[in-house]
Structure 1
């Protein structure tokens, strides 16, 4: 590839970690039904100067003021060092389209887009599994621990179950709509994790395992009733719900509207509601826009699962 004449752009979708029933073990990639993107983009091109990064997009002003601290630049630097190219000149641009500290996998989206972009720019020297491991490690620098329930779905798409040797796709339910609402405030993932106990009672651990196993079984058998019956969070939500303004009231109202499952997306403050049809999804979205969104930074999207994950585009300069 003639690097001086090439530009690689990668889009990485937003994701929901945990999905209530699978703390740190289940994640889902999101695609708004209106076709509008919900995820970050990273552009990479060759440069005669040093490694550089420009940040644009609706949430760029919320990024760290010192660009050297930006996770996209750290991803590119780490990749180049691993490939023995520490002095390689690259010009990167981050389109920051996801709010920070939102529970929508914002840092994961940036990490996935950055590493997938530089890997594609150099003709993919890393395998998908090697790249996924690197994504988990770099995203862990932001969230405070290494877990893959955001990076895996953002990279691979769909509904992903984390395993010791990587991630495995689960069959989703095509009829479901996932309504996500971000109120417009930021919650630190590390601080929200600090709310959780270091140990769980045996009864809670058993219930968690039973529910996750039942959900996985229901996905493979396409048993919607069973999947919805166990789509509950017994690990994190009991400790986090009271710390998310308006969440408990919104959950109760959405359930009254008929949404069969409501939960916290990742560590919050974004919530998600499962709707069985578009009419129910639109009613939920209207309520959330009026009563859960607190400012102009907030957003509400009606989504399906994104089956693709990252999207790579190449173009001549």
Structure 2
């Protein structure tokens, strides 16, 4: 029996200054897998099983599960491309909490599409879909769930690294340079925030001043990455689009920022729609101090957790059966 297991890392959407156009994949420094994995096996008929820390938070009906929807989407794409459909069963290991701001739905979708594409490659000798084709399908399905297509979680989870969305069909996203010495603290409070609800808090129109600031910050930030100017890059990491409207959903947000900055954080912000927050620092000592405070003051219940991370440069990858 042929089986294929794929892991897709968690991600920070927006990275404060890049609303809907920047994303970063995360890799905890303790080498734990922060993300979901999906396994595909040859089978006579489709079925889906699931386990993992947050599997009990998934919809009770398998038909409503996003991995099932990924399978159906992939099968339809094979049919449209005049390619042979798959006969498989699937398993989801749900390690990311739903509505966490860590790209939970994106992680499941990306792992599912990647595993299906690689499984088909084992059968046919080549993958049926290329990188941009697969990413476009991931983005479309993610958009059906969140209400609009945006790649700031699926792209970094799939490609790894810090990604910038181009607005083009090819390439959909490009990787940007990063500062290898930066640590990224990610803390999930244990609460759940709906992406659709968080987007509904945003104004329909923005002032010319905010629009110009957004564009300037993004341009200077990207230039600073290529120029290896850490200080200027960090200075640009301010959210003028979403943070002031969304932070009302995040208890202790302002206090968390104040403490993080007192410990030398280069940046502090909301990961995606929240409630996960992140801090970027230059030193491990600073990151550990911030993580300790967030564990004590920002986490609201037993579901919450935090990790000191680096940027995950590998993106989605295949796992061995024992991983």
Fold equivalence (TM over 0.5): yes
Residue 109 of structure 1 corresponds to: 107
Partner of 2:213: 207
Matches within 5 A, 1:232-247: 232-247=238-253
8 Å CA contact 2:78, 2:85 repeated in 1: no
Contact 1:56 1:94 in 2 (8 A): yes
Give 1:197 shift.
0.8
Is 1:52 the equivalent of 2:52?
no
Q: Would the aligned equivalents of 2:86 and 2:120 in 1 still touch at CA under 8 Å?
A: no
- Is residue 104 of structure 2 the alignment partner of residue 83 of structure 1? no
Q: Where does structure 2 lack aligned partners over 5 or more consecutive residues?
A: 122-126
Match of residue 194 from structure 1: 200
TM-score, normalisation: structure 2: 0.94
2:27 aligned with 1:19, yes or no? no
Secondary structure of the 1:83 match is helix
2:263 maps to which residue? Answer: 257
Displaced runs of 4+ in structure 1, greater than 6 A?
none
RMSD across aligned positions (CA): 1.2
- What is residue 126 of structure 1 aligned with on the other side? 129
In the alignment, which residue of structure 2 is the partner of 1:65?
A: 60
Equivalent residues in 2 for 1:142-181, closer than 5 Å:
142-165=145-168, 166-181=172-187
3-state SS of 1:122 partner:
helix
1:33 match = 29
Contact 2:160 2:316 in 1 (8 A): yes
Number of equivalences: 310
Q: Which runs of 5+ in 1 are unaligned?
A: none
Q: Is the 8 A contact 1:6 1:314 kept in 2?
A: no
Distance 2:205 2:22 in 1: 20
Q: Secondary structure at the match of 1:48?
A: coil
Cα displacement (A) at 1:314: 6.7
User: Quick check: 1:42 aligned with 2:47?
Assistant: no
- Do the aligned partners of 2:261 and 2:267 also contact (CA within 8 Å) in 1? yes
Aligned-pair CA distance for 1:253: 1.5
Counterpart residue number, 1:283: 289
Q: Secondary structure at the match of 2:5?
A: strand
